């Protein structure tokens, strides 16, 4: 009995990945795009003044530095010892500035975040921005699909001290998956 059970478990373990691959290949994309929110000022509100200030800090950093390309403003937003968890961007404020200076093109700063923002969530000393994220379909050279993206920041003494996102290291060209 034990041998039969072992053979069954081993057979199932070997067959399961193949079954998943076949099911995945045959299944149409069932995901639903997340709705973009239009009232960004509403998303910035919070009953707690510290949470509202943290949301505003991250929001303005995103608009001015990331979207606006004004890396010279990083000193206003990032701690010197800023910790970066994106595998493509160096840690430290100087590393951030060096990395983004390579391709940032300063432009007029928009009054709102241009990326399709879904939510701004603040809890304790963390702020999370969530976005609609269109991406290329790895199963189709011309296909596209929609998923979500997030940027999470930790605030320390009124500045951004740490950042997380789901970026993957891009070995081919060193730019990463954004």
Domain ranges of the chain: 33-164
> pLDDT value at position 47?
97
CATH topology of domain 33-164: Nuclear Transport Factor 2; Chain: A, (3.10.450)
> pLDDT value at position 172?
53
Q: What is the pTM of this model?
A: 0.78
Give residues with Cβ within 8 angstroms of 113, minimum separation 6.
Answer: 40, 59, 62, 63, 67, 129
> What tokens does 80 get?
């010197």
- Closest listed residue to residue 36, CA positions, set 146, 167, 169: 146
Mean pLDDT, all residues of the chain: 84
84, pLDDT greater than 90: yes
How would residue 55 be classed by pLDDT, with cut points 50, 70 and 90?
very high
7, pLDDT greater than 50: no
177, pLDDT greater than 90: no
């Amino acid at each position: 009995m034990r041998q039969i059970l072992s053979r069954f478990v081993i057979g199932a373990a070997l067959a399961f990945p193949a079954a998943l691959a076949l099911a995945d290949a045959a299944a149409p994309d069932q995901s639903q795009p997340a709705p973009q929110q239009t009232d960004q000022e509403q998303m910035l509100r919070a009953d707690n003044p510290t949470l509202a200030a943290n949301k505003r800090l991250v929001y303005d950093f995103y608009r001015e530095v990331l979207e606006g390309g004004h890396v010279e403003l990083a000193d206003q937003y990032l701690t010197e010892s800023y910790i970066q968890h994106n595998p493509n961007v160096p840690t430290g404020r100087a590393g951030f500035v060096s990395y983004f200076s390579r391709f940032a093109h300063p432009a007029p700063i928009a009054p709102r975040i241009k990326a399709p923002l879904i939510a701004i969530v603040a809890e304790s000393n963390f702020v999370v921005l969530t976005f609609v994220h269109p991406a290329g379909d790895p199963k189709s050279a011309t296909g596209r699909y929609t998923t979500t993206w997030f940027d999470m920041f930790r605030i320390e003494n009124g500045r951004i001290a740490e950042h997380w996102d789901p970026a993957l290291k891009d070995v081919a060209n060193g730019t990463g998956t954004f």
